Amino acid sequence: MSGNGNGAATAEENGPNMRVIRVGTRKSQLARIQTDSVVAMLKAFYPGLQFEIVAMSTTGDKILDTALSKIGEKSLFTKELEHALEKNEVDLVVHSLKDLPTVLPPGFTIGAICKRENPYDAVVFHPKFVGKTLETLPEKSVVGTSSLRRAAQLQRKFPHLEFKSIRGNLNTRLRKLDELQEFSAIILAAAGLQRMGWQHRVGQILHPEECMYAVGQGALGVEVRANDQDMLDLVGVLHDPETLLRCIAERAFLRHLEGGCSVPVAVHTAMKDGQLYLTGGVWSLDGSDSMQETMQATIRVTAQHEDGPEDDPQLVGITARNIPREAQLAAENLGISLASLLLNKGAKNILDVARQLNDAH
């Protein structure tokens, strides 16, 4: 089986009618920008194909008055898109990888993980606080974030600040920051601000010692039907090997911890000289209790590999037949090993208490 996907397109390109690939996406401006970037990459590989974008609203887009961690639904931003995929209304769906649960519903797989952009979190300040940092904001300043992960880490690091939930798409959150006098700053993913062309609003980038990022943050995932070999071949060319392996390790860590958006879990990964480094941590809701560790594994990504029929192609919801299987398994094992280390040291208690408190509030 070829991993380059060219065979998937050739027969259709030579036919009298140009083939149309239907691409599902959320309706927000950022989601559309992200989807357009993936479609542009696919067009570069397959100039003979046409792409039609199908935009829809998801549960997470509709429920805007509740913190994400309270809604209790793992597939907040994906369920409606997967429903369209299942009904054959679209051929593939573009997601922010951090929105995709580590266990996908049966019948779906992530067929491509594109090259990761900046995975860090960024601080955007109210106009009157431009030039400040979180450290220099006045006592009791209110910082907006929709993420328990960010709030827990930053409360621990900046105890003079107060953290409050803020929901809505990027446009809405920036408008709330600028127009209401409620927030001194808000925390957003740097990648989203970059994709929207709003780099000028970034007042501070949070580095790992201040705030580690979410699993998969900064990467885009392309979801397809697991049995659609044609589409798997087509999108597989978009896999970025380093991003893929880092994200497999991160997702395996989160899955083994049984974490999700209702508990504060964060990661940091790096590839250097054939070594994959994974730092992972868990926090109590207020950040007072925490635990983090770092592990590394040797990863070889040189030789191409083709799965035999006996192989289960999916690892943490991802199918990547054109990336060496041995490297993928090493990345997955790294994530599982780090999660096991933390669990053995008592991380389960921190997570259980965080879950209970989050459910109670």
Q: Which of 99, 121, 228, 233 is catalytic?
A: 99
Structure tokens at 10: 């050739």
Radius of gyration of the chain (CA): 21
352 CB contacts (<8 Å, ≥6 apart)? none
Active-site annotation holds for 61: no
Q: From residue 87, how far is each of 32, 75, 78, 80 by CA, in Å? A: 22, 17, 14, 11
Q: Which residues of 161-172 are buried (b: 16+ CB within 10 A; e: fewer)?
A: bebebbbebbee
Q: What angle do CA 282, 222, 194 make, to 5 degrees?
A: 70
Helix (H) or strand (E) holding 278: strand 275-283
70 CB contacts (<8 Å, ≥6 apart)? 262, 358, 361
Contact 245, 297 (CB under 8 A): no
Alpha-carbon gap, residue 248 to 324, rounded angstroms: 13
Known catalytic residues? 99
